[in-house]
Structure 1
């Protein structure tokens, strides 16, 4: 048995990772093979090289972008994916209950954790000139506040204060966020026309710093969860904030985990839905983010779900439980 380690040297060096791998991997395993990511391709070449090496476990140490690329490329193989969180958001790791604060614990999960099958989303975008592009996603995609916030985030500030840089960016863009007319169809249901600030499509529901945005989302339910944020003025934004605050109360999380709460209710400022396929067409182009990376502007998008597409290593105590409270 042998592991392949794909690592982003900007996030974690081989010197930092090697002692943890040596300590955590079983004695009977062979020496791991190492692959450094290239910023020009986001780590795609490194992941492909690791899979070509006929490994038995792919360990990815990096941010959400590197993890997303690895998740896309590893589907269709029998190799499980282990995540060593090394980014700002570490969104997929959070939703799987992987420790984002301890390199040692995350590495032990890589070798000793249980295997869990999860879904993977697929997004097709159409730009204003008709060009189309495809992007896999493990967590969330969308346009509006999340995409504009990511674009406005100061990278130097993010290096210093981490996720708090997103709060700073959100405060700067929320007042100037433009509404857009959008046509949305979920599965074979009728097309809905609305004016929104933000649309989020998620494979799972927890975002930066453990905040629950899509409370009904489950990473292995074969469904996408959709949120349409459509506040009217300051009062509408207060309603949105109220929804999110209630969903993040400890008692709410515990009741939902134990199955005592029904589906999230839709209100005037925030609408929810679930579907296997979601198609949206915008009257004007908007920037779109995929798992925390802005990938370009689009006038139309189509999101689908690939059920049980990916096998990941998760902590034994949280296997099948979803994200940590």
Structure 2
């Protein structure tokens, strides 16, 4: 449970400048607490405030309470869902976000070069690292009955087979094998996936826009592009460039899916990083099947003929028949190595 409000009110009168928002079922919360306390006292930050996420609050409300209590650094310990919730609450506050990655994918931490699997090292970065100003994505999903809700994301948001993959991932395998368990979910989702007619409008910074219509299986919008294992889903995505990058997947056969897998695991991961590899990509692009499109812009709107599953940073977010993704540039400070 979160620390009770009266205790927080008393703490706000002290010189507490550090707070922790911790998912109690991820990683080793006791070790994280000890590491944060040790660094807080050694740096003169005083007694850190401590909050635990709950089913009702993934961390956003706790982060807001931490800011109200005077915290200047809020450390999120958990998976990408916890980090997303805390990051969203810290937008435009000037309060720095520290991250102790304790989840399955830990995609934001990986893309920022933070220590993975070492809570002590991650806490050290949170206290002594550099401040980096980054963008946050905002996704507005409209349900089939017309109800629209907007939520932040730090890594990737999407509609289609990627969300189905999350739903189809076996919880036992995820707990036992980590991000590798998603492979099982991917295979089962691809087999059953059916394309949906989609109108995708990409608004550019100068006000112009481009419209694309595809029978899509998945539309993924990235604030960052790296995956576990070094694979690059959206290779040009940068967390501080003021735009979002979109990957539109529209294969017609299993061979199209195989080509997409090859693109992510071979072309994006290997060929793009060498001069010879880039030359080969230019040559073979003329022969490549038209199954994967990349585009970018500050605002991306997706209208679907029928509702599909939606996701944010690896969490299911119901179904959507329309999605609007926009970039909130320079809205968050993150502590990095």
Q: TM-score, normalised by structure 2?
A: 0.87
Aligned residue among 176, 179, 182 for 1:160: 176
Aligned residue among 314, 318, 321 for 2:336: 314
Give the secondary structure class of the aligned counterpart of 1:41.
Answer: coil
Partner of 2:261: 241
Per mean C-alpha deviation after superposition, the further-off stretch among 161-170 and 38-47 is 38-47
How far the C-alpha of 1:249 sits from its partner, in A, is 3.7
CA distance change for structure 1 residues 298 and 251 in 2, over 3 Å: closer, same or farther? Answer: closer
Unaligned residue ranges in structure 2 (runs of 5+)? 1-15
Provide the C-alpha distance between the structure 1 equivalents of 2:259 and 2:57, rounded to a whole number of angstroms: 41
**Count of residue pairs the alignment pairs up:** 311
How far the C-alpha of 1:251 sits from its partner, in A, is 6.1
Per mean C-alpha deviation after superposition, the further-off stretch among 232-241 and 109-118 is 232-241
Partner of 2:313: 291
Partner of 2:19: 4
CA RMSD after TM alignment? 2.2
Partner of 1:75: 91
How far the C-alpha of 1:306 sits from its partner, in A, is 0.6
CA distance change for structure 1 residues 267 and 304 in 2, over 3 Å: closer, same or farther? Answer: farther
Partner of 2:233: 213
| Residue 126 of structure 1 pairs with residue 146 of structure 2 | no
Write the mapping of 1:109-148 to structure 2, written as runs, cut at 5 A: 109-148=125-164
Give the secondary structure class of the aligned counterpart of 2:209.
Answer: coil
How far the C-alpha of 1:199 sits from its partner, in A, is 0.7
Give the secondary structure class of the aligned counterpart of 1:82.
Answer: strand
Conserved 8 A contact 1:212-1:247: no
Give the secondary structure class of the aligned counterpart of 1:28.
Answer: coil
Conserved 8 A contact 1:223-1:305: yes
How far the C-alpha of 1:207 sits from its partner, in A, is 2.5
Unaligned residue ranges in structure 1 (runs of 5+)? 316-325
Cα deviation 1:17-68 (Å, max 9, x = unaligned): 1321244344322121111111222123322221121012101101111111
Provide the C-alpha distance between the structure 2 equivalents of 1:190 and 1:79, rounded to a whole number of angstroms: 36
Partner of 2:32: 17
Per mean C-alpha deviation after superposition, the further-off stretch among 199-208 and 287-296 is 199-208
How far the C-alpha of 1:165 sits from its partner, in A, is 1.4
Partner of 2:51: 35
Provide the C-alpha distance between the structure 2 equivalents of 1:211 and 1:145, rounded to a whole number of angstroms: 18
Give the secondary structure class of the aligned counterpart of 2:54.
Answer: coil
Give the secondary structure class of the aligned counterpart of 2:260.
Answer: helix
How far the C-alpha of 1:14 sits from its partner, in A, is 4.1
Provide the C-alpha distance between the structure 2 equivalents of 1:158 and 1:114, rounded to a whole number of angstroms: 32
Conserved 8 A contact 1:228-1:271: yes
| Residue 272 of structure 1 pairs with residue 326 of structure 2 | no
Give the secondary structure class of the aligned counterpart of 1:279.
Answer: strand
Cα deviation 1:174-223 (Å, max 9, x = unaligned): 11111010001100324221111111011110134432100011000001
CA distance change for structure 1 residues 155 and 121 in 2, over 3 Å: closer, same or farther? Answer: same
- Which of the pair has more CA radius of gyration? 2
Give the secondary structure class of the aligned counterpart of 1:191.
Answer: strand
CA distance change for structure 1 residues 51 and 247 in 2, over 3 Å: closer, same or farther? Answer: farther
Partner of 1:47: 63
Per mean C-alpha deviation after superposition, the further-off stretch among 245-254 and 73-82 is 245-254
Provide the C-alpha distance between the structure 1 equivalents of 2:273 and 2:39, rounded to a whole number of angstroms: 32
Partner of 2:3: none
Provide the C-alpha distance between the structure 2 equivalents of 1:143 and 1:229, rounded to a whole number of angstroms: 11
